[in-house]
Structure formats: structure tokens, C-alpha cells
Amino acid sequence: MESFEQLAVQYTPMIYKIISSLNIYTNKDEFYQLGLIGLWEAHQRFDANKGVFTSYAYSFIRGRILTELALSSQYNERWHQAKVDLGNYIIDPFSITPLEEDTLLCYCQSGCLTENQTKWVLYTFLKQLDVIKIAEIEHVSLSAVKNWRAGAKEKLRRMMEENVL
């Protein structure tokens, strides 16, 4: 039988025809290499008593490429789709939903908090800022923000005790 290099040159058009018939438009070089591997395996396993080499090589090459297509399809379905879908379930911890803000404002109003105490509650629980940052944003002293905090905690504690008891 001929050397493999001669077979590769002779059957290159067949490999490209199989790639084209399977509608493979990306990674053609990769699938061409798989076709060459299929041709080499067909060359190694061929038994002249069982039939014509061309038919055997065609089946072997096509089978090798189809197997790789199935494997890559499974991989893409399992991994790439999962990465895309995960984006729908990831919650941004810094996003503020209107419902959370409304709930906090409701507590502030029922607890009769002042405007500054309400600011402290919103900054602390929605934006998770500490007293130093709140003081910088509001352009007030640190002790003023601490007083807002103490007053808000006292009023909210009192409100919770009255509602629970």
C-alpha cells in the first residue's frame, strides 16, 4: 500500500468535502487534523480482503469528525451555557432595591426618626457606610453622626419593644 504522506495528499479533498458536508465553518484546521487522524487510523486498520479503501476511509474520517462534533457540542452545552445562565442568578450585593428602601423608610417613619436619624439608617443599612464616611458625605462632625446613630437606635428599640410586648 502507499505511504501515508501520499494518502494524505490524495484524500485531502475528501476530508474537506466531509467538513463542508457537515456544515463546519469554524475550526476547519482542527477538523482537518482530525480527518488526517481518521485517515491514518483507517490506513492502519484496513484489510484489503474486506472491501475498497476509499469507502472505508470515507466512513472512518466522517466518523472521527462526527465524534469530535458530538463531544464539543456536549462540552459547550455543559460549560458555556452554564456560565451564561449563572449571570441571571448572581445578585449584586450593592444594588439597592426599592422594596428595601421603602421598608426602611417605613420603620423610620413609624419610629418617628428625625431626618438626620433617617439618613443614618439609610446610609448604614442600604449603602453599608460607617459613621466616618457618613460624616464626610453629609459634611458634619463625627460626633454629630454618632448622635444620629444613638438617637435612631434608641427610638427604634423603643418602637420594637412596644410592638412586641
Mean pLDDT confidence for 128-156: 90
pLDDT at 143: 92
pLDDT at 98: 57
Q: Residue 161 pLDDT more than 70?
A: yes
Kindly indicate the confidence band of residue 165, based on its pLDDT and cuts at 50, 70 and 90: very low
Give the whole-angstrom CA distance, residue 48 versus residue 65.
24
| DSSP track, 38-95 | HHHHHHHH--GGGS-HHHHHHHHHHHHHHHHHHHHHHHIIIIIHHHHHHHHH---TT-
Q: Is the pTM of this model over 0.85?
A: no
Mean pLDDT confidence for 133-147: 91
